[in-house]
A = this chain, B = another copy of it.
Amino acid sequence: MKNISSKTISRVLLCVRTLESLMREGKITISSGGLARITGLTDVQIRKDISNFGKVGIPRVGYNIRDLKTVLEEFILRKNVIRVILFGAGNLGKAILKYAGFGKQKLKIVAAFDRDKKKSEKVINGVKVYPFEKALFLIKKSTADIGVIAVPQEASQEVADLIVAAGIKSIVNFAPVSLKVPKEVHVRNIDLTIEFLSAYCDASV
């Protein structure tokens, strides 16, 4: 398969989300132009992204929504359940644990860890919060696909090291710190401060 760029992946996931929403509305087909109007992407971009995965469209008709969703998901997700492990059950971690929307997609939070005894040993929205000390042992037994870091910045590198040691290859990092990880491990940083400031700057600069 061709190398799919990170930008393409984000756009395709946006399309998948939109296709799901169209399915819920009972729609059967959608054109690249229609998807473009909803998502804010361009029609050509959508067709080109889709063309990475084969020929799914029907000229003069567009795409069958269910088929397109299936094809896109098969190529980029390729698993029915993507297993997430969460570090830090503080303000942000709890919001993530309580969010029902992940399950509707293929994301499943399989465990959470917190160093604070008052927070661990609880169950939030069906997910058990374990004490941090047990993390390495438990993670190694149950392979996870993604590690999410929602701990204070001082602890974030230590947690990243543990995630790497457990053999997990994807990290989502909410701490405002640039993590050091081996190059085969992929980190996606979400620093909300930077996101907010970028939103402001993009509009004003």
Contact of A48 with B by CB under 8 A: no
Q: Chain B contacts of A17 at CB under 8 A?
A: 176, 191, 193-194
Output the nearest chain B residue to A105 by Cβ-Cβ distance: B193
Contact of A107 with B by CB under 8 A: yes
Determine whether the beta carbon of B18 is less than 8 Å from that of A178: yes
If the complex has contacts A18-B178, A95-B95, A101-B176, are A185 and B197 also in contact, measured as CB distance less than 8 A? no
Determine whether the beta carbon of A169 is less than 8 Å from that of B203: yes
- Contacts from A to B (Cβ < 8 Å): 1, 4, 6, 9-10, 13-14, 17-18, 38-40, 75-78, 82, 84, 91-92, 94-96, 98-99, 101-102, 105-107, 145-146, 148, 169-172, 176, 178, 185-188, 190-205
Determine whether the beta carbon of A188 is less than 8 Å from that of B199: yes
6 pairs from A and B in contact (CB 8 Å cutoff): A18-B178, A99-B192, A105-B193, A146-B196, A185-B203, A190-B195
A202 to chain B, nearest CB (A): 5
- Residue in A75, A185, A192 with the greatest tally of chain B CB atoms within 10 Å: A192
Given contacts A91-B99, A186-B199, 18 further A-B contacts (CB under 8 A): A4-B201, A4-B205, A6-B198, A6-B202, A9-B198, A10-B198, A17-B191, A17-B193, A38-B178, A40-B178, A75-B205, A91-B94, A91-B98, A170-B200, A172-B196, A186-B202, A188-B198, A188-B202
